[in-house]
Amino acid sequence: MEDKRSIRIFLDDDPVPFAEFAPPVKFVFDSTKIPDGKHELKIVAMSSNGKEGVKQIPFEVRNGPSISVIGLSPNEVVNEQIPITVNAYGSERSDLFIVTGSENPKGIPAWIWALVLSFIGFALFYLIMYLSPDFYKSFV
């Protein structure tokens, strides 16, 4: 009796499989040859008695540089001029690390400003109230 077991692997809606194996199989999937974006891996397995099983795995490829946008959120409604900062950086290895453009410029959060101002206010209150000689009491 002939063994009909096989595994065919398709990418997106391509009718031709990019790989066909006899089970079990272990292979390396190279995502660098696929354009960035959403894709789907479709695995079709045939059992020894001719029954077919299908598994679809959606995934996203992001081989290009990471893009960060500050000033505009997805699906945000805007009605006037808005400043937008766009930064892109990749993970390519180079011998020289350039600091410029490797981080996203962000403002200091409001809660840090409130914390700093409350600390300064308490320090001024303490200096005014307890730094005069009238309030100094010696333990000796």
Span of 16-20, 105-109, 118-122, 130-134 with lowest mean pLDDT: 130-134
> pLDDT of 37-56, one tens digit each?
899 999 999 888 888 899 99
Total domains in the fold of the chain: 1
Give domain status of residue 97, yes or no.
no
Cα dihedral sign, 69-70-76-80: negative
Give domain status of residue 92, yes or no.
no
Give domain status of residue 94, yes or no.
no
Give domain status of residue 42, yes or no.
yes
Give the Cβ contact number of residue 36 at 10 Å.
Answer: 12
Give domain status of residue 82, yes or no.
no
Decide: helix, strand or coil at residue 124. Answer: helix
For tokens 């990471």, name the residue: 66
pTM of the predicted model, to two decimals?
0.52
Domain with 57 in it: 6-61
Return mean pLDDT, the chain.
81
> pLDDT of 23-42, one tens digit each?
888 888 888 888 888 999 99
Give domain status of residue 135, yes or no.
no
